[in-house]
Amino acid sequence: MKNYIYLDNAATTKASSQAIAALNRYSDAMYYNPSASYAPALEVKRALSEASQTLASLLGASKEEIIFTSCATESNNYAFECGIKNKKGNVVVSATEHASVYESALRLKNKGFEVRFVAPNSDGTITPQNILPYIDSNTAFVSVIHCSNETGAVNDISAISSTVKKISPKAVIHSDGVQAFCKIPVNVSKLGVDLYSVSAHKVGGLKGVGALYVKKGFNMQPFIVGGGQQNNRRSGTENVCGIIGFAESAKACRKKAENFNGKFFRDIFIETLKGNADFIVNGNKENSGYILSLSFRGLRGEIISHLMEDRGVLIGLGSACSTHIRTNRVLDAMGVEKAYSNGSVRISFSPDNTEQEIRYAANALKEAVCELNEKMKG
């Protein structure tokens, strides 16, 4: 197989050595069901408890507040299906959410809920000022993404939570933290959230594992019922190797993030393209540093992506969960002109990427765009 420079880390990351080790150990030597009562199974159960503690520590939570799921999409669906206490209250959701949140909100709307979508600023951020006109004393549930999966824009969830609680003290606050977790500082207590979703495969873990933080004292009915695993909060035999690998990978990812300067990589792309392409950067410079969203006037993102693949570089078009949709809902909400948004690509970095790779990729993108522009002139 061809060796590619991989710059679509917001879609998924390479499984870490810790994740592979957990997969091997808990699929082979320690394959026991943690619900069984014999000694080897109890050892597996203890390992799951330790994984819960590790993940909780990274979130600033306690292990009793962590529910493991099959993915962040399930976590987000769980939050919307079981997290709303006031069934007659209104629901406020940002227009920049991941598809799993946005579609969950639309499903509530179809069930008769009053759902209010908050438009972002032109840089993709959602601020308390954006939220204020949409909330009132009857607001029951608010969901705002922590870090945009499209642009890397980081929202001040703490300030948003504080603003909402002052107007509607009983409102439930949820945040999709998939692109924030282990990349920027996350402490759920300081964020003021009741519910927070994370994913394993965005931090070096295996696909098929996620988690939902549920604040202590928050009565959350189970989304999946059955054998009563995870203290009756999410039934189904636990994905042992995935969960343990998730915790260990997250710990390693957080450590790497401490010495990672993704904004340096972003600047290399931007400086390389300046004067060589008609493009805009979607979002502002104060984003997570892991995502760069670019839009090229008059071009098609899909064609740019294919030309980059021909040059040995893999980049994305946006959320991998919505690539079958031709328009980009988030960029539309930000007010990006169609002449640009149709030519959008998403470049997302990893601490494992090297400066040499980034410089090669940036020049490859410049060449691809120049090639397309020349063809259009002809």
Q: Mean pLDDT, the chain, as a whole number?
A: 95
* Helices (H), ranges, the chain: 17-27, 39-59, 72-82, 99-110, 128-131, 157-167, 188-191, 229-232, 240-257, 262-273, 301-310, 329-333, 338-341, 355-377
Distance in angstroms (rounded) separating the CA atoms of residues 236 and 229 = 6
Mean pLDDT, residues 282-288 taken together = 88
Pick the CATH number of 17-255 from 3.40.50.300, 3.40.640.10, 3.30.420.10, 3.30.70.1230: 3.40.640.10
What pLDDT, in 10s, does the model give residues 219-229? 999 999 999 99
pLDDT-derived band at 327, boundaries 50, 70, 90: confident
Domain boundaries, the chain: 17-255, 260-377
Which token pair is 138?
């009857």
What does the pLDDT read at residue 157?
98
Residue at 60: amino acid letter = G
Q: Which residues are catalytic?
A: 321
pLDDT at 378: 61
CA separation for the pair 360, 26 (Å, rounded): 39
pLDDT > 70 in the chain, percent: 97
Which range (141-150, 232-241, 317-326) has the least confidence?
317-326
CA separation for the pair 16, 206 (Å, rounded)? 8
Residues 131 and 71: their CA atoms lie apart, in Å, by 28
For residue 187, the number of C-alpha atoms closer than 13 Å in the C-beta half-sphere is 4
Q: How many CA atoms lie within 13 A of 57 on its CB side?
A: 11
Q: What is the mean pLDDT of residues 270-295?
A: 93
Residue 322 has pLDDT above 80, yes or no: no
207, with CB counted inside 10 A (0-12, 13-18, 19+), is middle
The pLDDT, as a whole number, for residue 264 is: 96
pLDDT at 244 over 90: yes
Q: What is the pLDDT of residue 324?
A: 52
* pLDDT at residue 35 in the model: 97
Confidence of residue 326 (pLDDT cuts 50, 70, 90): low
Confidence bin at 241 (pLDDT 50/70/90): very high
Can you give the pLDDT at residue 377? Answer: 77
Give pLDDT tens digits for 83-123.
Answer: 999 999 999 999 999 999 999 999 999 999 999 999 999 99
Residue 101 CA to residue 94 CA, distance in Å, equals 9
- For domain 260-377, the CATH architecture is Alpha-Beta Complex (3.90)
Does residue 278 register a pLDDT over 60?
Answer: yes
Residue 347 has pLDDT above 60, yes or no: yes
pLDDT digits 0-9 by tens, 174-206: 999 999 999 999 999 999 999 999 999 999 999
Of the listed ranges 59-68, 172-181, 237-246, 320-329, the least confidently predicted one is 320-329
